[in-house]
Amino acid sequence: MKVGFLFNHDALHQIRHTAPIIAEIVRYPQVEAVVLASSQVQEDHVRALIGDAARSVTFVSLVVTPLVAALDRALRFVAPFRRVATLRQNAAAFADLDVLVVPETTSLLLRERYGVTRPKLVWIPHGAGDRSVGFRDVARGFDLVLLSGEKVRDRMLAAGIIAPDNHAIVGYPKFDTIDAAAPPRLFADARPTVLYNPHFDPKLSSWYTMGRPVLDWFAGQDRFNLIVAPHVMLAQRRLHASVEHRLLRWRRAFEVRYRDLPHMLVDMGSERSIDMTYTRAADIYLGDASSQIYEWIARPRPAVFLNASGADWRGDANFAHWQLGEVIDDASELAGTLDRALHRPDAYRAAQEAAFAATFSRTDEPASRRAAAAIVARFG
């Protein structure tokens, strides 16, 4: 059985969600593993994550024509042009696979538009958040969906986008890649550290309307350190579009003046922004719509959410994570909110522990091993 793993994105944040499975699935003698990567950077990242298992894997480079590469240089900051073109121009590379494992849904174009019908398609969502975009009808196009836990499964079943017989709960393979050692110290002093982790969604993100007031507030105070580490896609593009909310927003350039402050660390997309360095090192989470909040509560700590869109969020499943901390509507509320977080650090501990247990299935067996077993059991 030939099982392919596709890595076809502008950034590297999806790789840890599926790459660990490769090291487990090559243990099956009937499996031939193939990694299909659309850049050398992605291939190198996969190799680093799977270590010696790379010797048992065939690596395929997905290339595009010079014209596509040139157009991508002009369009990459506004649209996923290269991602789609890579699928179209490399359709033949997928034709002899029995199974294709992906962490996103664009890959369905292979079947729906480019005539690649043979491989069974396996989807592992890259995150376990609550945004409505993760529960769209497009999920029905997959032959097997591997899920992190009961929360996501129950919502997908209720929406009718998965069936009782085409999914499995396997846990969260990304956790298998995280170093268990203590996170590094990121600041010279012992001030409490806040992680500001805005999403890129043009409606839900706090960055477009509240980002500057938030950074200005932190720049002008001396009680907290601040890590500014947005979702990596915020920095990848200048124009952000939301199909679900039918909204476009232009991202302003990040102001250099914030980078020179010793109590503020700015990371617009390094390895540390995707390997949980910051979610493990900080003391208070400040965000909006990112699924990283669920990685944060692996160790319960205070969280604050910025309601930049004026959402009527209570009772809305798309904002379930806002029950895990205090929600504020304006940056002027930061001082009092952060004070309460410091003085009552366990106020939301019970809610966070319950949410983590519902979101992530944890057993003695690594999630990546459970995922590999589920794929082989279904298609092997």
- pLDDT computed for residue 243 by the predictor: 64
Answer for the pair 322, 313: CB distance below 8 angstroms, yes or no: yes
**What single-letter DSSP state applies at residue 197?**
E
Find how far residue 247's CA is from the centre of its chain: 21
- pLDDT computed for residue 252 by the predictor: 77
212: which 2 tokens?
């500057």
What CA–CA distance (Å, rounded) separates 301 from 263? 21
Measured at the CA of 248, the angle between CA 128 and CA 310, to 5 degrees, comes to: 65
Q: Decide if 2-172+361-379 and 193-359 have a common fold.
A: yes
SS3 100: strand
What CA–CA distance (Å, rounded) separates 214 from 216? 5
CATH number 3.40.50.2000 given to 2-172+361-379: yes
- pLDDT computed for residue 317 by the predictor: 96
pLDDT along the chain (380 residues), means of 10: 95 95 98 97 97 98 81 63 89 95 96 94 96 93 98 97 97 94 89 97 93 96 97 82 71 80 94 95 97 97 97 96 98 97 97 98 98 97
- pLDDT computed for residue 254 by the predictor: 73
This prediction has a pTM of 0.94
At residue 128, φ and ψ (nearest 5 deg) are -135, 45
- pLDDT computed for residue 76 by the predictor: 62
* CB proximity list for 5: less than 8 A, separation 6 or greater: 18, 19, 21, 22, 33, 34, 35, 36, 46, 100, 101, 102
Domain ranges of the chain: 2-172+361-379, 193-359
- pLDDT computed for residue 127 by the predictor: 94
Task: Give the Å distances, CA to CA, from 232 to 71, 102, 165, 200, 272.
Answer: 22, 19, 34, 8, 11
The widest CA-to-CA distance across the chain, in whole angstroms, is 61
Give alpha helix (H) positions in 297-343.
334-343
> What superfamily does domain 193-359 belong to in CATH?
Glycogen Phosphorylase B; (3.40.50.2000)
- pLDDT computed for residue 79 by the predictor: 62
Residue bearing tokens 């977080």: 341
